[in-house]
Amino acid sequence: MSRKRTIASLAALAVAVALAVVVPMSSASAATCATAWNSSAVYTGGMTASHNGRNWQAKWWTQGEAPSTGGSGVWADQGTCGGGTQPPPGTNCNHPAWVAGQWYPAGSIVRYTNGQYYRAKHENPGYDPIISTWYWEPYSCSGQPPTTPPGGNTGFVVSQAQFNQMFPSRNGFYTYSGLTAALSAYPGFAKTGDETTRRREAAAFLANVNHETGGLVHIVEQNQANYPHYCDTSQPYGCPAGQAAYYGRGPVQLSWNFNYKAAGDALGLPLLTNPWLVQNDAAVAWKTALWYWNTQSGPGTMTPHHAMVNGIGFGETIRSINGALECNGRNPATVQSRVNAYQRFVQILGTTPGNNLYC
């Protein structure tokens, strides 16, 4: 071998060694390509596929739609693969801020006011992601659900096991997660006073809910003949959803157009025009119940929340919810049904019922 070829070979070897040192550093963070996209395969939310040198993740069900940033937006770009680099999880979180009242197609991803991201499970006109959990779900930039979804149980005195024990035959609509997601609307509920007071309030609320829904079985009022009666036409806003649209729904069987209007205004939801939200979204349903419990006195003289946190007693919560029909000896069997549930629930929660159980 000539000296010239030897020098050239050594130079080539030096370059190769240099590349051997440099290339792994740049490719060490390169993403491995997922299984290649197949036009006949069905992909559901969270599944991945590679296409044109990039990894993609499906946001929802799709078939036959090639991964790209255009089209319906079903595919989320996860970065280059097989030799390129993929951004670390979280670095591609540049989704727009959520705007109340703006239309969002299914699959839209927004940044909520708490800094968390949410993805629209169903198209909606800008419903609140924290409240309308039927329309929105938590989303993380890695494509995996957050380990602790916002709105989860944050110190509620009733555990999920206790909730299930209280309502062994409940309708699947009434989820524990829906209840805990609703708690943020009224942070004083079951968190005011000492531990005994907190447990008594939670038990009182759930005991009344138990009676109103037959053990969390009924989502809507069962007597449909009553439906047209809940439209108070004297209200200036009328009944835009229809005369028969304001029947009882949810844990406290919210009814009448003026109650839907007031609850919707308080919660930032269009309940007057879309009362069906209460029967379609568990968190909304629970929020309407907490709205009544914490802000309305009904036929009574105080809110149920006030009655419990100030030691006035469970009986006064009955008066605030349905006192005109049940209290002062009008329907003792119904009152006893509520009291029985309350006594059972405080026992489950490891506390005592207190005084003044009847109204």
Query: Catalytic residue positions?
Result: 212
DSSP string, 130-187: TT-TTTEEEE-TTSSPPSS-TTS-SS-SS-HHHHHHH-TT--TTS-HHHHHHHGGGST
How far is the C-alpha of 19 from the C-alpha of 21, rounded, in Å?
Answer: 5
DSSP 224: G
H-only helix segments in 28-125: none
CA-wise closest residue to 60 among 78, 41, 74: 74
Listed in sequence order, the residues at least 6 apart from 5 whose beta carbon sits closer than 8 Å to its beta carbon are: none
Stretch (H or E) spanning 57: strand 54-58
Using the structure block, give the residue that is written with the tokens 């309407």: 288
Tokens, residue 302: 């105080």
Q: Minimal CA–CA distance to 53: which of 40, 66, 69, 34?
A: 34
As given in the structure block, the two tokens for residue 229 are 């009666």
What is d(CA 129, CA 111) in angstroms, rounded to the nearest whole number? 10
Q: What is the DSSP code (8-state) at residue 217?
A: T
